[in-house]
Chain A
Amino acid sequence: MPPDKNREDELKRSELTFFGQITASVTHEMNNVIGIIEQVAGLLEDLAVGVEYGRAIDPEKLKGISARIITQTERGTDLIKRLNYFAHTVDEPVCDCEMDELLQNLVDLCQRFAILQKGSLEAELTPYLTVRTNPFVLEQVVFIALRLSISGLQKEGIVKLTCVKIDSGALITVYGPAVSESEPKEATLELIKTLAELYNMTINVELSEQSSLFKLSVPNYIDEAVS
């Protein structure tokens, strides 16, 4: 059954929030990359001024600077690729999704959220598993589960995402520490369930004082009328 107007508005807001959180995180990191490259360029300028005053440049120093630039450009390229892949997941409402590629990209995009909590994200994904679904909604549901688990991360803690093949499609699990008290759990769980149901996915949530476990079943066929 299609959601009512209020529900629809809420879902749209949630989509924008999701998109905003991902792009804000990536652009923040991109800004760091640009900041480093700018300082490296400044370092070269400093060396050039030194040469004007008769100081010699050590070729090893130049090689080191070049390596620093390459490291940062690779980091920047990687960030752009991830964001670009993510942006294209809104292209089609329903398509054949390579689960390992889609989920690994999401995990990479979310790694910074875990790092900010001094923890990390790990993924164990069955390769070559394709499921026909709405990639953007799937990412959104998994993202919300990841964010809830990440909220409770302590130093060196891990949130783990797995994806395995099941008869009906794929089973995704997110396992981590107990969700932080500051998270609006009930409203978020309600939202995640609604989102999942829209595309015939089912989600089971087990929250305790020690851990959080989200089991998302993604069918490999979707009723085109729903999409």
Chain B
Amino acid sequence: MMTSKILLVDDEVEFTSILAERMETRGMNVDTAESGAEAISKTESTFYDAIVLDMAMPEMDGITTLKELLKINPDLQIIFLTGKATLEKAVEAVKLGALDFLEKPVKLDNLIAKIEQAKTKKMALVAKREEEKIKKILGKKGW
């Protein structure tokens, strides 16, 4: 099985550091970012299987970060993990393209299950895009 490449985004550096350590012991490859801007910069150069994003962060909040990340790659699978969970925010996030909305504190197993779901969805989307690409090429050749 391929290693999952994950990005954890939270201004609570201690939180992402411990979470990353625990996820790495489970065979995941984890990057961390402490702001929306850092997450955007990392996403421009790396293709992540899932991004775990906080809502309340300095300068750029989670919703703005989500919009910017999806501009870079609309196939990105973003899971919100926040202590500031309201139904309103959750609905807004999912409407904008987030995969799901989890509340802190979170059990690692629940987060990992969600990440696996994100990875499966991402792989299906990538496969679909490849299929469309091939169809387009074949169509051009009149096959």
Binding site for B on A (CB under 8 A): 28, 31-32, 34-36, 38-40, 42-43, 46, 68, 71-72, 115-118, 155
Known: A31-B83, A35-B83. 14 other contacts (CB 8 A): A31-B104, A31-B105, A32-B83, A34-B105, A39-B18, A39-B105, A40-B18, A42-B22, A43-B22, A46-B25, A68-B14, A68-B18, A116-B56, A117-B59
Do A46 and B22 have beta carbons less than 8 Å apart? Answer: yes
Question: How far apart are A42's CB and chain B's nearest CB, in angstroms?
Answer: 6
Given contacts A39-B22, A43-B18, contact A32 B59 (CB under 8 A): no
Interface size on B, residues (CB 8 A): 18
Q: Most chain-A CB neighbours within 10 Å: which of B21, B22, B83?
A: B83
Q: How far is the CA of A68 from the CA of B108 in the complex (A)?
A: 18
Given contacts A31-B104, A43-B21, A46-B25, contact A36 B59 (CB under 8 A): no
Q: Which of A28, A43, A68, A118 contacts B84 (CB 8 A)?
A: A28
Q: Which 9 A-B pairs have the closest CB atoms?
A: A31-B83, A39-B18, A38-B105, A35-B105, A35-B104, A118-B58, A32-B12, A36-B15, A116-B58
Closest to A32 in B: B12
Q: How far is the CA of A117 from the CA of B19 in the complex (A)?
A: 25
Residues of chain A contacted by B108 (CB below 8 angstroms): 39, 42
Q: Is the interface of A mostly helix, strand, loop or mixed?
A: helix
Closest to B18 in A: A39
25 contacts between A and B (CB under 8 A): A31-B83, A31-B104, A31-B105, A32-B12, A32-B15, A32-B104, A34-B104, A35-B15, A35-B104, A35-B106, A38-B105, A39-B18, A39-B108, A42-B18, A42-B22, A42-B108, A43-B22, A46-B22, A68-B14, A68-B18, A71-B14, A72-B14, A116-B57, A118-B58, A118-B59
Question: How far apart are A127's CB and chain B's nearest CB, in angstroms?
Answer: 32
Closest to A65 in B: B18
Within 8 A of A (CB), among B75-125: 83-84, 104-106, 108
Closest to B12 in A: A32
Q: Which of A36, A40, A117, A118 contacts B12 (CB 8 A)?
A: A36
Residues of chain A contacted by B83 (CB below 8 angstroms): 28, 31-32, 35
Residues of chain B contacted by A118 (CB below 8 angstroms): 58-59
Residues of chain A contacted by B57 (CB below 8 angstroms): 116
Do A35 and B12 have beta carbons less than 8 Å apart? Answer: yes
